Structure 1
Amino acid sequence: MSRAARLLELLQLLRRHRRPVTGAALSAELGVSLRTLYRDIAALQAQGAPVEGERGLGYILRPGFTLPPLMFSGEEIEALVLGSRWVASRGDDKLARSARDALAKIRAVVPPALRDELDASTLLIGPPPGHAATGDDNRLELIRRAIRAGRKLTLTYQDGNGTPSTRTLWPFALGYFEHVRVLVAWCELRQDYRSFRTDRIQKLTIEESAIPRKRAALLREWKLRQQIPE
């Protein structure tokens, strides 16, 4: 790997970490010595990259830093195409359209050789199951909007036994599975985390009031309870 490619890879690694990461961990991921890693960090800082930290404490890339269009690897191209095709096939109308638009934007900025690889990707998504969740596109759009805005949701929900209840939720995640879509939220009624199938939501309202905690904190705490790795 050339030094230029290694520096770009180091930037990508730093972007992947939200908290300071030690030089030892970075050097192990890159497959270089710790001495080389320190030289690379210094080179990035000298070129204006906002890498903060020091030896023994760890390094982090300051939020807001954006990279110019990068040369994607073949595997990265395949991952982008496969993920976009899955969302276009399984997502609701608005999300599917956004996936196609995002792929078109990527196609417009990559070099011609990579554009050809993108167009010729042979990783395909099979047809969605015939009994997949349908008809709740508007609910999904409202839920995503509430999550992005950090607003509470009030909904009327019918459980598996057909029993209705009204809940006020702090929504923070939306899971897309083959047959169902699942809202994950803190439920004020139960004072605990709960999951709700979107096809069982009878009525849905976005409230004016904001959720009292950051959604990233809710997601992190929920993952810990579910023993889901970061």
Structure 2
Amino acid sequence: RDALARIAHVLPAARREALRDSGLRVGPSCTTAKVPPARLQAVREAVGTQQRLQFAYEDAQGRRSERVVWPFALGYFDEVPMLAAWCEGREDFRHFRLDRIRHARALEEHYLVPRATLLRRWQKAQGIAPDWLDCS
């Protein structure tokens, strides 16, 4: 967080805003999880192109579900990369471990809300300060 704030401090305002609104979030530390590179790439591309993403998901108890989501952020945490997304089925923000996602595929349709707007709504819902990248 400190490093990002220092980088943001020297960027022009437009680039600083683009950094703040990017779909990448970094947690406390980063370790490698067993996520196939093709799955990580598919999720990363869906975040970047703001496309709806369909996948099968298996939760910690082994229950399986089919999801269609609006992926807007990919975060790296202690255990595994995580996807933050708006879930169409739950009509709410959800977090998905990438190692539990199966058969991910981007749908042709783009989601209707800009990624930056979803990020701000998610931050508010999670109680994350909107100025996490503010270096003033």
> Which residue of the partner structure matches residue 200 of structure 1?
100
Query: Per-residue CA shift, 1:189-208, capped at 9, x if unaligned?
Result: 00000000000012111100
Matches within 5 A, 1:1-230: 12=10, 14-15=12-13, 18=17, 128=31, 132-230=32-130
**Which amino acid is 1:12 matched to?**
V
- Specify which structure has the bigger relative contact order, considering alpha-carbon pairs within 8 angstroms and separated by 6 or more residues: 2
Q: CA RMSD in A?
A: 2.3
- Structure with the higher fraction of residues in strand conformation: 2
4+ runs of 1 displaced by more than 3 Å? 11-14
Q: What is the aligned length?
A: 111
TM-score (norm 1): 0.45
TM-score (norm 2): 0.73
Q: Secondary structure at the match of 1:184?
A: strand
Structure showing greater Rg: 1
Q: Is the 8 A contact 2:35 2:98 kept in 1?
A: no
Q: Secondary structure at the match of 1:171?
A: strand
Query: Per-residue CA shift, 1:159-180, capped at 9, x if unaligned?
Result: 1110110010000001111221
- Structure with the higher fraction of residues in helix conformation: 1
Aligned-residue offset at 1:158? 0.5
Aligned-residue offset at 1:151? 0.5
Q: Is the 8 A contact 2:46 2:53 kept in 1?
A: yes
Taking only the aligned residue pairs, the percentage that are identical comes to 40
